[in-house]
Amino acid sequence: MEIEITPFEKEKQYGQLIKKNVRQFLRYNSVNIEATVAFNFVSQNKIYKLNQKYRHLNKPTNVLSFPIWEKKFSIPKTGAVNLGDIFICEDFVENPEELESLIKHSLNHLIGKHH
């Protein structure tokens, strides 16, 4: 498993939490444990622009997921595989519980689960 995390203000505080949650999520959902996920922590302005460009919504959001695979069954079972990119707005992460919720929500989108 490889987790790419862009540097952000609370990286030291939350880096291990992110890795632990991703590892648990992949195992629980029987997803390739060699998967790569990129976490990008961005400003409210940046996530606003991404939300506007890709979802055509003129407002910021807390998290955006950009999956590589449409459905979980499409994800290769072995070997290095990229699941996609996750953008989290730093301004909306108020505590570890909020971050865990955003991680799980966004990872579900990366494996094709939608609400």
54 vs 80 pLDDT, higher one:
54
The count of structural domains within the chain is: 1
Assign residue 100 the CATH number of its domain: 3.40.390.30
Domain assignment of residue 90, yes or no = yes
pLDDT of residue 46: 97
Q: Is residue 93 part of a domain?
A: yes
Q: Give the model confidence (pLDDT) of 17-50 as tens digits.
A: 999 999 999 999 999 889 999 999 999 999 999 9
Average the pLDDT over 68-84 and give the result.
90
Within 10 Å of residue 87's Cβ, how many Cβ atoms? 22
Q: Is residue 41 part of a domain?
A: yes
Answer yes or no: is 115 within a domain: no
Q: What percent of the chain has pLDDT over 70?
A: 99
Half-sphere exposure in the Cβ direction for 92 (13 Å, CA): 22
Is residue 51, in this structure, part of any structural domain at all? yes
Range of the domain at 82: 2-110
Mean pLDDT of 48-63: 97
Q: Which residues, 6 or more positions from 85, have their beta carbon under 8 angstroms from its beta carbon?
A: 37, 38, 40, 65, 66
In this predicted structure, the answer to whether residue 58 has a pLDDT above a threshold of 80 is yes
Kindly report the pTM of this predicted structure.
0.91
In-domain check, residue 47: yes
pLDDT mean over 51-80: 93
Is the confidence at residue 114, as pLDDT, over 80? no
